[in-house]
A = this chain, B = another copy of it.
Amino acid sequence: MFTRLDHVGIACHDLDRAVRFYRTTFGLDVCHRETNEDQGVVEAMLRLNGTDDGAATYLQLLAPTRPDSPVGKFLHRNGEGIHHLAFGTPNVDREVADLQAAGTTVLFTPPRPASMGSRATFLHPRECGGVLVEIVTKKG
């Protein structure tokens, strides 16, 4: 069960430039930065609003730390733009089990460490109408 839209991931070549754009044009500020070496990305989180499950929705600006990372390959193929949607759930392990039982391919099992101490997995765009879907449970 998804209880919120957790974040929208946006791929960019230059993280500082993207951060400046969102601050200058829309007044949105960075609340968190981190590097995820496993995924080959450096990321900045911009909080948009609180959600009625007690969490929040963010924009996640993503730049590759190496050209052969998933986001590096995405940028090479598509250029900058929206990369993925992340849905929040109280229990990503249960979601994974339910999706697998229904025949959906889950890319990482078990889920891996993700933004701000969360745990997350992904579903392939091929199975989700062209949308790369992340499923995330925030740090308890």
Contact = CB atoms under 8 A, between A and B. Distances in A.
Tell me how many chains of this kind the complex includes. Answer: 2
Nearest to A81: B130
Interface string A103-118: 0100000000000000
B129 A3 contact: no
Interface residues of A, number: 39
A85 interface: yes
Contact of A18 (B8, B80, B104, B129): B129
Nearest to A51: B49
Of A1, A5, A18, A28, chain B has the most CB atoms within 10 Å of the CB of A5
A138 to B, nearest CB: 13
Interface of A: 1-5, 8, 10-12, 18, 21, 24-28, 48-53, 57, 59, 78-82, 85, 87, 99, 102, 104, 125, 128-131
